[in-house]
Structure 1
Amino acid sequence: MRASLENGKTQYKIRLSGIDAPERRQAFGDRSRQNLAGLVFRKYLVVEWDKVDRYKRIIGKVILDGKDVNLSQITAGYAGHYKEYQREQPFADRQSYARAEGEARTRRLGLWLDAVPVAPWDFRRNRH
């Protein structure tokens, strides 16, 4: 499904599919949120989605001016490719997200800058 969020009149909770961003208390958590807000705040967006999670969030890919915002977060190093759910992604997205994460890690961007970077999924696992 494609949904446009029209005229800023309705707010939707959207979980960006295929990515996992740092937690609030994790290094780069605030920067990740700030980067995403800078990309999408008060902009006309299209969301491609087909699922709602148990928290009633739309799970989808956010498109801004024809560009994949989810992929932009990974490319900037502010999210990782969430491989646990990669089977739910189209093959092309799975490939581009994995490649973008590899490049961000190699270039030590965002959360991959730390000497011993901790992926968001590892941070949550070790927190408990």
Structure 2
Amino acid sequence: MRIVLLFTLLFFVHVLLHAQTLTGKVVKIADGDTFTILLNNHQKKRIRLHGVDCPEKGQDFGNVAKEYISNLIAGKSVTILTTKKDRYGRTVAIVKVDTTNVNESLLRAGLAWHYKQYDNTQHWAELEHQAKSHHRKIWSMQNPTPPWQWRKQKKASKNS
């Protein structure tokens, strides 16, 4: 348990040392885990939520996840704690609106997978586990397909 806490602490120290905090108004929702903010300098920035992966458009609960995040942040001022840039140039971030952690809210609601390939926060794994055990949203399905597998299958079917 101490090792897990140590690694979690080291992760957050790393994030804080390399992170930048920005504030902006949400002007566009792309899907459950990606949106655009307008910064005070009128620059637009695409944001991808760190450590979570929501169902894609066309996938079960994809529209529900988009609607959920829209209700939570659309048109509102959010604070983002950047963690990195992804390969598509999006800013990957932990996002807060008022006192709500958006990343955690999606996990708690059962509308996102904890993307363990990119995040090892134990608390987030527990939020996913709680959503599973209460059969919330995506976890109400018998065998939900994680978005990364769904994208891979879709790409493979295009190439064949």
TM-score computed with the length of structure 2 as normaliser: 0.70
Task: Identify if the C-alpha distance between structure 1 residues 6 and 117 changes in structure 2 by more than 3 Å, giving closer, same or farther.
Answer: closer
* Alpha-carbon displacement from aligned partner over 1:21-70 (angstroms, at most 9, x marks no partner): 10111100010011011100111100000311121110001111122101
What SS does structure 2 have at the residue aligned with 1:45? Answer: strand
Identity of counterpart residues, as a percentage? 31
1:55 corresponds to: 88
Matched-pair contact (CA < 8 Å) for 2:83–2:94: no
- Answer yes or no: is 1:36 the counterpart of 2:63: no
- Displaced runs of 4 or more, over 3 A: 6-11
2:135 corresponds to: 108
What SS does structure 1 have at the residue aligned with 2:64? Answer: helix
1:90 corresponds to: none
Q: Which is higher, the Rg of structure 1 or of structure 2? A: 2
2:144 corresponds to: 117
Matched-pair contact (CA < 8 Å) for 2:54–2:112: yes
1:79 corresponds to: 112
Matched-pair contact (CA < 8 Å) for 1:111–1:118: no
The root-mean-square deviation of aligned C-alpha atoms, in Å, is 1.7
Q: Where in structure 2 are there 5+ consecutive unaligned residues? A: 1-19, 27-37
Counterpart-to-counterpart distance in 1, 2:22 and 2:50? 15
TM-score computed with the length of structure 1 as normaliser: 0.86
Counterpart-to-counterpart distance in 1, 2:99 and 2:22? 14
Counterpart-to-counterpart distance in 2, 1:11 and 1:73? 23
Task: Report the CA distance between 1:11 and its aligned residue.
Answer: 3.2
Counterpart-to-counterpart distance in 2, 1:6 and 1:24? 23
Matched-pair contact (CA < 8 Å) for 2:46–2:90: yes
Task: Report the CA distance between 1:6 and its aligned residue.
Answer: 5.1
Aligned length: 122
- Going by fraction, where is strand more abundant, 1 or 2? 2
Matched-pair contact (CA < 8 Å) for 1:32–1:78: yes
Task: Report the CA distance between 1:95 and its aligned residue.
Answer: 1.4
| Aligned partner letter, 1:107 | H
Counterpart-to-counterpart distance in 2, 1:125 and 1:83? 17
Counterpart-to-counterpart distance in 1, 2:25 and 2:73? 13
Q: Where in structure 1 are there 5+ consecutive unaligned residues? A: 88-93
Greater Cα shift, 115-124 or 30-39: 115-124
